[in-house]
Structure 1
Amino acid sequence: MKISIERSVLLKAVAQAQSVVERRNTIPILANVLIEAEGDSVTFRATDLDIEVVDRAPAMVDRAGATTVAATTLHEIVRKLPDGALVTVVSDPATGRLTVESGRTTFSLATLPKEDFPVMATSEYASNFSAPAPLLRRLFDKSKFAISTEETRYYLNGVYMHVADGEDGKVLRCVATDGHRLARIDADLPDGAAEMPGVIVPRKTVGELRKLLEDDEAEIAVSVSETKVRFATPEITLTSKVIDGTFPDYSRVIPQGNTRRLEVDASEFAQAVDRVATVSSERSRAVKLQLGDDKLTLSVNAPDSGAAEEELAVAYGDERLEIGFNAKYLLEIASQVDRENAVFMFNSSGDPTLMREGNDLSAVYVVMPMRV
């Protein structure tokens, strides 16, 4: 195999591939990226056996062929080459080495046989549809902060993507929860998605998917089966196993009877929470909210380090209420608000609180209170 490729194109492709590779693994071939050159393009394939990413890039192919090489090493080499450089990559089956040349710099790397590289089996997808990148980006970006990191409740270690009944008919919905907070985000149902089976997309896949969704003009081809999900652009295909488990009935957690309504400027609120939480050394310190007539008082009392209090002008006309929340959870939820105002719906100091963006019901958040 012999190819010539622009450094920036190579870096983008290798960066995507090496981020899938696990740093510590017992199977040497899984630390490698499979490079296949044919026609006028080269593909880079990496996997951790749960996720597979294939990145296609244009290149001058002088000699077709394939080999595998350490993904992180190749990424570091390409990253350190000068901008605008032309990179020549040559594999020699006789020596089992891969040569990377650019200008006066030459690297010789060990390879492993391409035959040993595991390729994820293709599956029959029950549903195939396409969706604009901004739609999918909003669904996953706004829900991923609530993914659980508790391995024992593995079925919460991802985002549940499914078709649900919305206010005005069927919607594509993403839900994530860790038992302390919940995010439920809706989007218009793309054509062809109505029969999609509900799947739990793992946390790592959600992180990798973010790179595919950065182009606002991109149309993403989505394929879903009971066991796998695939997201593809013309250049990149990301295939992932889904979490084998049943996502809990989240609708029971979303409060329906909360009547006390607080409306507050979302960015002012987030900044105030951040400021008063400064006196606490523990990230999980509770912030106390005291609600009165059109006034919100935020306070933190950390006996070992001090106390803080801040007042905000808000829209609130119900009876007085004192309620406490984990400062980190409040900040994460407040930071999701794209609109100017956040609306909180309370019931009592011991019940879950609902939060949404203004009057928009397509993004709903729930957070459990803390004792203060």
Structure 2
Amino acid sequence: MSVRLKLTLSYAGFLMVAGVLLLAVVWVFLLRYVPDAEVMVGPGGLFIPNRTDLTRAFFPRAAAALAFLLVLGLLGGWLLAGRVLGPLARITAATRSAARGSLSHRIRLPGPSDEFRELADAFDAMLARLEAHVAEQQRFAANASHELRTPLAITRTLLDVARNDPDADTRQLVARLHAVNTRAVDLTEALLLLSRADQRSFTREPVDLSLAADEATETLIPLAEERGVTLRTSGDVAPANGSPALLLQLTTNLVHNAIVHNLPEHGTVWVTTRGSPGGAELTVENTGARLSAPLVATLTEPFRRGAERLRSDHAGVGLGLAIVKSITRAHDGTLVLAPRADGGLRVTVRLPAGPDTPHAAGGHLSAAYRKTETS
């Protein structure tokens, strides 16, 4: 049975029950004023009906009334059920269209704000997010294919040149092949890390972001010294819950990104951590060229590099901030990117406190405060 038929039978059944109750009340009410006698003659020879006469007159008409109510209930219930289920038919059609791969279709259900309108709006919002996600994945697949194809094409070109020129310097060829292969390996490892973060295939445990910031900073000191960038770390204990390896990768990517995309000389990177009862916060700022808000909004997309953020020897594979975004999302946190007024970028990661996350008591700045500077 279809839902429309079920609703029709429900409407008709309810109407029949209400009609029977109403007729029963009328019957009981009439019995109070009808005498229980075979024949009664009133003043002037007026005939007064008894209960037998009332029964003969009432029940046929009551049956006719119930039959009319049954027909009315079935017809009216069918029409009302169709009208009520009309929006559901539009939602079903949109669902079938989405199942066939058409994610651009929207219901846009008109009318008052009722349950069906809320369902349609929620479905439209889901389709919009799904369409954006699919488009992002398609761009990611195309960009990843391009990025992976580039080192392979370079390798093939180098090998072709070496094959056609037997007297070529093999040491130089090996060095170039090693550099190209290293980049391909780095890209593959970044893609695997991105996939791991998206799948949330990790065990959560207490993590102190301040320690991750210290470790990432110490690891990248040689790169900062090479590029003439000053690293400044400060803050307090920042307890969170998550994967230590992924959160260290997140912090390392942010600091590395801040060093590479900085001023040509005398640049600065600030790494700050902060803890609160609600979670932990990590902020990485760097000097650099002025960035527009539209450009900053695209920096977390895979393989996106703005005109002001050109690739260099240490620029990575274009997945640094994309991995940061994925790790933050996997930890149910928020990632905020904003251009600095004086040039450069400010990145803030906020992670919620888990059920097992310890929070240091007061006195952060006195007991756990740290400040280091490396130039």
Q: Under TM normalisation by the shorter chain, which class is it?
A: under 0.3
Greater per-residue strand proportion: 1
Greater per-residue helix proportion: 2
TM-score of the superposition, structure 2-length normalised? Answer: 0.18
**Greater relative contact order (Cα < 8 A, sep 6+):** 2
